[in-house]
Amino acid sequence: MKKIKRKVSTQKSVKNPMKQKFIFVTGGVVSSIGKGLTAASLGALLEARGIKVTIMKFDPYLNVDPGTMSPFQHGEVYVTEDGAETDLDLGHYERFTSAIMTRSNSVSTGQIYDTVIGRERKGDYLGGTVQVIPHITDEIKARTFEAAQGSEVIIVEIGGTVGDIEGQPFLEAIRQMRDEVGMGNSVLVHVTYVPYIAAAGELKSKPTQHSVKELRMLGLQPDFLVCRSEKHLDESLKKKIALFCSVKPEHVIGAQDSSTIYEVPMALHKEKLDELIAAHLNLEGETPDLRGWIKTVKTIKNPARSVRIGVVGKYVDLKESYKSLHEAIVHGGLANDCKVEVVYVDSEKLNDKIISQALGDVQGILVPGGFGTRGVEGKISAIKYAREKQIPFFGICFGMQLAAIEFARNVCGIKDATSREFIGENARGNLVIDFMFEQKSQTQKGGTMRLGSFPCDLKPGTKTHQIYRENRIQERHRHRYEFNNKFKDLFLKRGLVAAGLCKERNLVEIIELPDHPWFIGVQFHPEFKSKPLAPHPLFTQFVKASLQRKSAFELLPKNKVEKISRDTIKKESRKSILV
C-alpha cells in the first residue's frame, strides 16, 4: 500500500513568497452562502485568462479532517490524489479548474493546533509562552505560503461565517498577511447575503452592512462584495451598499441565484469580477475563453433528451452527502446531451416487496459508497433487481462490495455471504468482502483507510477496458475492506469477471457481468475525477446505457416491456462504447 506521510510542521518560511498573488474569500450573514462556488468560479475565470491558479480551504472546526464526521454533519468527504480526506469544497475547486488538490489545500483548526502543540511538547519554543498570536497565526500563514507554491494566484477560502469565534485566528492571519505582502498583491472578497423581504417587496442591505462592520472590527476592509440574492441587484442598491461599506460601486458584485452552479462563472464574469480583480493585482492575462462553460450551460438548459437514474443510499435526506456523485452523473448527462433526473431512494425503506414500485420507472440504478450495516439489505435488493431485470447498474466502492455479496448469495448459492464489516473482527463466515491485511491491526479510525490514488490494470476485452481505452488507470480510493480473492474463481465460473486488478497488491478493483447490458462495480471513486468540461468515461457510458434502455422500452407496447430481449440492449450498449 502506498504510504501517505502525515503532514509535518510548516514553520520554515517559504523562499520568495512574493511571487504569488493572494485572493482571500470570506463569508457573512449566513453559512452555506456560496464561498466555495465563488472561489471555484473565480479560479475558473482566472484560468480562462491563462493564469495559473490554486485554491485552498481553511476550516475552523477542531477535527483534524472531516474523515470521521457523519455525512449528515458535514456532507461528503472529498479525497485528493495524495489521500487527504477533505471538505467537499475541494471538489468544486477541482471540477471548476485544472488545479490538482493535495493535503496542503485543506487545513483545519485541528491540524494547526496539533502542529503547534506538538512543537511545544518538543521544546521548539525554547520555554516561551505559546499563544494564538503569533504562534497559531504564524502557522496559518506558513500553510498558506506552502499551498501557494507553483501558482501565480492562490485563492484562500475561510470556512464559516464572519463573527464565528473559531474563525477569528484565520481572519487575524489574513490581516497580517495583507500587511506583509502588500495591498497590491492581495484582494479580500467578502461573500454576503442580501435578503428579499416579500412583504415589503424589497432587497435589504442591512445584513451586508453589519457583516462588513464585523470584518472592520477585526481590522479587515473588503475590496469586493459578492452579494448573493434571490432578485437582481440594481445600480441604486449597489451604490448604497458601496457607500455604507466603503467599497467602489463597481466592486459590489451582484450574484443572483442561478439555475445551475455551472452558470456562476459566467454570471461573475458578466459583473466583471475577474477583470476587476486582475486589474487590482496587476495580472497580465488573455481574453477569457468561456466557450466550454457556455456550451455546458446551454446543454443543461436545453438538453435533447432525458433519463431517470435511481441512486440507492442511506444519506438521501442530505444531498450534499453525495455531492461529487451527483455532479458526476450530471456530467455524464452533459456528454450525452441529456438531462439526468436523479431519483434518490432511501435504502433503509427498500425491500424485495416494494422494489419494483420504487425503481420501476428508472432506466439506471447506482449504489454509491457508504459504511455500516444500516440500509444494506435494501441496497442488495436494488442490485438484485438491476441484475435480474437487465437494468444498467453502477456500483461504487461499497456498492461494488454489495454487488459481489448479492452475486454470491443469489447466483452462487452462498446464502450466508457477507462482509467482515457486518459481522465483526472475530466472527467467521463466508466473507466475500474482508479486511485488507494491513487493516487488521488498525485501532484508530481517522486517516487509516486505503486513501488516495492507486493504479489499476484493466483486463483486455472487458467492457471497462473498452470504456477507458487504456490498459492502466489511476483512480482514488477510500475504503478499509476488499474483495476476497478466495471467491474469484467461483465467480468467474458463474459469469462475473474481475475486470480490473491492482497487480501490486493482487486486489480486485473492478467487477462486471459480460452477460448483462451494463453491470459494473468499482472499488474506487470515479466521481472525484469527473469535471463538467471533462466528464468521467464511466459516468458517460453509464448514462448512455441508461438512455439506450429508455429508447428500447419506448418502442415497445407497455404489456411487452418485461419481455424485452436483453440481446437488443446489449447490442446497442456495445455500439455505444465504440462511438
Q: Are 223 and 39 in contact (CB under 8 A)?
A: no
Q: What DSSP string runs through 316-338? A: TT-GGGGHHHHHHHHHHHHHTTE
Q: Give backbone dihedrals phi and psi of 289, rounded to 5 degrees, phi first.
A: -100, 105
- Length of the chain measured in residues: 579
Contacts of 79 (CB under 8 A, 6+ apart): 85, 86, 451, 452, 476, 477, 478, 525, 528
- CA-CA-CA-CA torsion sign (429, 432, 433, 439): positive
Active site residue 525: yes
Listed in sequence order, the DSSP H helices in 149-205 are 168-181
Nearest to 254 by CA among 278, 283, 277, 224: 224
Pairing relationship of beta strands 507-512 and 497-502 according to DSSP bridges: antiparallel
Q: What per-residue string of b and e applies to 140-167 under the rule 16 or more CB within 10 Å gives b?
A: bbbbbbbbbeebbbbbbbbbbbbbbeeb
SS3 127: coil
If residue 452 lies in a helix (H) or strand (E), which one and from where to where? strand 450-458
81, 101 Cβ separation under 8 angstroms: yes
From the candidates 269, 331, 477, 525, give the one annotated as an active-site residue.
525
- Residue ranges of alpha helices (H) inside 281-388 are 291-301, 323-335, 355-359, 376-388
**Grid cell listed for 350:** 427498500
Bridge partners for 418 per DSSP: 431
Rounded to the nearest 5°, which phi and psi values hold at 78?
A: -95, 130
In the annotation, is 527 catalytic?
yes
* Residue of 227, 338, 397, 456 marked active site: 397
Measured in whole angstroms, the distance separating CA 530 from the mean position of its chain's CA atoms is: 9
Q: Compute the distance between CA of residue 422 and CA of residue 399 in angstroms, rounded to an integer.
A: 14
**Residue 230 CB coordination number (10 Å):** 12
Longest pairwise C-alpha distance within the chain: 83
d(CA 404, CA 395): 10
What gap in Å lies between CA 221 and CA 161, rounded to an integer? 16
Distance CA(337)–CA(282), nearest Å, equals 39
**Cα distances (angstroms) measured from residue 216 to each of 199, 243, 246:** 31, 15, 10
Phi, psi (rounded to 5 degrees) for 251 = -90, 0
Q: Which residues are catalytic?
A: 397, 525, 527
